[in-house]
Structure 1
Amino acid sequence: WEIRVPLVLPGDLVRVSIFKNFDTELYSEADLIKVVRPSPDRIEPRCPLFGRCGGCQFQHMEIDYQRKWKTEFVRLGLESQNILPTTGTDETFEYRNKLTPHYEAPIKIGEDAYELQGIGFQQVACKDILDVEDCPIATPAINVKFKEVRATLHEQAEAGLLNNKKRRRRNRRSKNEDVGATILFREADNDPETGKPVIVTDFRKYMTTTIKGIKFRYMAGNFFQNNNYVVPLMVDAVLGAALVPVKSITGDDNNTKVPSYFIDCYCGSGLFALTASTKFKLCVGIEVNEKAIEEATENATANSITNCQFVAASAEAIFISPPALTIAGFENQKIQDFPREETVVVLDPPRKGCSGKFLEQLYEYGPQRIVYMSCGPATQARDAKGIVEVGGYDIICIQPFDLFPQTKHVECLMVFEK
């Protein structure tokens, strides 16, 4: 029988409170009450709110120990021993360039008097908002702006200015109620005139982030990776895997060729396709978010990239009903007609992983190589099982990335080959 407790380490002697049993799975979940005797590996967290704030889970470990556990987490999920150690950078605090704190509606404390209870993040044990004045994993520039906005919000709350946002509960008979909000802080490239960081707080405002010499312009509320130190490592790994020469269709080991076609599924604003553009004859990206596809297309134009085309559709459409290409030299060519032995398909799906329909189409097309980056090791493990057992691929490489130090989250790259 297993008892699962957050915020503990092997070697800790702890007092816990069990709150739920899972009889069929043979484990219980428990809250940590007290560390009676700490493990030799336990360190003092940098953040005084660690253990209460739900944002970080690993600040009580040295970074090498964190990465060891992330490697083990991936190993257990994939049931594989052939995993490279989790890699990252030395920037393990003050790295996160996006922060989204929340606040609940101010409460009335007197006649025309209101008070904002907290601005921050959900607590570990409940959904209540914990007041956070400073976040040690956010960039310094974001924390400066966060303090300014906190002061303004408290002033607005006291004046009753935050109590005019209404929404109706799902029960139509209930009355409208005051609501809180989510605030955005996102650090863009430095201002070219002042050289100072630009912090965007409007979800609808456009911003620019430069990765590997490519300028990506996107709406601040849209998805883009939040650690500009580690993302270049991930890009290098994806391109490095994609560019490994492959055997000819005859299987002759002495006749190899570097892939020429790059298909980027779940491409977002074009991160992998655009950074790969100089290495491939043709890059095609697909993404269900039409706004992201607009951004990717505009980013290609702004960076003078002419061999990338982006399609707004669900991922499986790239094989079921792909549009004819319009890129010079490839007019009217269909994606499913790309030579299989010269094509790499890159997958970077959301946490829920790839759809079954998409994977079926992928198996039928059968590219020589699949490069799969994932933020959800559990769903990646599920998809990998099908890619191997149904698609007939071999796993060539598994590389975890520490994209979010001090947290439990891990990004993982898997490479599959026919």
Structure 2
Amino acid sequence: MVYAYRSKLTPHYHFQRENFTNKTVPNIGFQHSSKDKGIVDIHECPLATSTVESALSEVREETQNSIMANYENEAKQKGATLFLRESLRINSQTGESSKTCLTDSKKVCTEKIGESIFQFPANEFFQVNSAILPDVVDFVRYSMSSKGIRNIVDAYCGSGFFGISLANEVKNGKVVGIEISRQAIKYATHNAKLNGLAVPQHVQFIEGTSNAIFKHESFLSAKLNPEETMVIIDPSRKGSDESFLQQLHEFGPKLIVYVSCNVFSQARDLQYFTAMLQKYTVHEVIGFDFFPQTKHVECVAVLERNYE
């Protein structure tokens, strides 16, 4: 799917001198690649899902009418960002679902990825190309097969996507996730229960920083055997810091799956493991085109511990 994949758009507008002079509606859209050219007026977006695309024109019209009706107050704010996010509306009685577009970032968004349901605040991070996520999960599932993995550690778990999606692969073991955001932990725990997983016996989410996960009391009490454990890391663009990587190395899991939106910081971190520590071998690196029509790519690397 190279078009109609983005489940979230945040068009925006700001007032320029000509808007004040002529009292006109400013452009509503996205920043031009040349910043001096300002915001490009966007009436449609071929990258957006059909649900979001359909809502875009309506939201634009409502915004334009609001600007003209309250021009002075709007102009004093200098501009604003609009919000559109696709979500599922599920009938609790029948289980049937339909797609809708949320325009309030404070609402709760619902996504179905594979057979799993996830809910999270609409303004919180969740991949905007949900169509490709099952492929990523399948790749991780394939990578851990026949490796004797009984436990999964999700070091940047967010609302629990990886841990919950793969929980049935370790039915006799445990999934432990950690996240610095208290709200994300709340939703990850909610999502685990929503998908019928036993909390905390089978799946447990811990509030804290990834740097301290391997020393956290709840993690230590789980008594995970490193030789039967896979650690998934999906950090921000800056990658992982040395403190976390050192603790991960000391824990020494059988497999490490490193998901990254920045191949440069990922390459730096992988070098730390393979060149400096020489304890792990990178077995596979694969790119997933999460953002077709752009230069960005999501890269997944699989490292396996060397046992002498």
What TM-score do you get using the length of structure 1 for normalisation?
Answer: 0.67
Q: Report the aligned-residue RMSD.
A: 1.9
Indicate whether 1:189 and 2:84 are aligned.
Answer: no
Choose between structure 1 and 2: higher helix proportion: 2
Q: Which residue matches 2:157?
A: 267
| Mapped partners of 1:123, 1:286: distance in 2 | 38
Within 5 A, what are the aligned runs for 1:26-65?
none
Question: How much has 1:353 moved relative to structure 2?
Answer: 0.8
2:88–2:97 contact (8 Å) kept in structure 1: no
SS at match of 1:217: strand
Q: Quote the offset at 1:237 in angstroms.
A: 1.1
Partner deviation per Cα, 1:76-100 (whole Å, 9 max, x = no partner) = xxxxxxxxxxxxxxx1111111111
1:225 is the counterpart of 2:127: yes
Q: State the match for 1:206 in structure 2.
A: 108
Q: Does 1:120 align with 2:22?
A: no
Among 185, 188, 192, the residue aligned to 1:300: 192
Deviation of 1:365 (Å): 1.1
Would you say the 8 A contact 2:257–2:303 is kept in 1? yes
Whether contact under 8 Å (1:186, 1:199) holds in the other structure is yes
Shift of the 359–195 alpha-carbon distance from structure 1 to 2, 3 Å rule, reads closer
- In structure 2, the partner of 1:160 is 70
Cα distance, 1:410 vs structure 2? 0.2
**Cα 1:102–1:412, aligned 2, differ >3 Å: closer, same or farther?**
same
SS in 2 for 1:345: strand
Work out which of the residue numbers 105, 108, 123 in structure 1 matches 2:20: 108
Letter in 2 for 1:130: V
C-alpha separation in 1, matches of 2:98 and 2:121: 20
* C-alpha deviation, 1:343, in angstroms: 0.8
Query: Does 2:201 match 1:315?
Result: no
- Name the SS for the 2:130 alignment partner: coil
3-state SS of the aligned residue for 2:131?
coil
| Cα gap change, 1:195 to 1:339, in 2 (>3 Å) | closer
Q: Which amino acid aligns with 1:273?
A: G
SS in 2 for 1:230: helix
- When Rg is computed on C-alpha atoms for both structures, the one with the higher figure is 1
Asked which structure has the greater RCO (Cα within 8 Å, sep 6+), the reply is 1
Query: C-alpha separation between the residues in 2 aligned to 1:271 and 1:314?
Result: 18
1:19-418 pair list within 5 angstroms: 91-105=1-15, 107-109=19-21, 114-126=23-35, 128-161=38-71, 163-164=72-73, 178-190=77-89, 192=91, 196-245=98-147, 258-280=148-170, 281-306=173-198, 307-320=202-215, 322-324=216-218, 334=221, 337-391=223-277, 392-418=279-305
Ranges in structure 2 where 5+ consecutive residues have no aligned partner? none
Structure 1 residue 397, shift from structure 2 partner: 0.4
The answer to whether the Cα contact below 8 Å between 1:104 and 1:116 also exists between their aligned partners in 2 is: no
Look up the equivalent residue of 1:350 and give its one-letter code.
Answer: S
- CA 196–279 in structure 1, closer or farther in 2 if over 3 Å, else same: closer
Q: Deviations over 1:85-130 (max 9, x none)?
A: xxxxxx11111111111111473245xxx32221111101116211
User: Matches of 1:200 and 1:379 in 2, distance apart?
Assistant: 33
**CA distance in 1: counterparts of 2:301 and 2:280, whole angstroms:** 12
Equivalent pair of 2:12/2:30 in contact (CA under 8 Å)? yes
**What is the CA–CA distance in structure 1 between the aligned matches of 2:68 and 2:226, rounded to whole Å?**
64
Give the drift of 1:196: 4.0
Partner of 1:45: none
Distance (whole Å) between structure 2 residues aligned to residue 196 and residue 341 of structure 1: 43
Shift of 1:190: 4.6
Tell me how far 1:243 sits from its aligned partner: 3.0
Name the count of aligned residue pairs.
293
Q: Give, in whole Å, the separation in 2 of the partners of 1:379 and 1:179.
A: 36
Q: Identity rate of aligned residues, in percent? A: 36
User: What is the SS of the residue equivalent to 1:115?
Assistant: coil
Give the letter for the 1:379 counterpart.
S
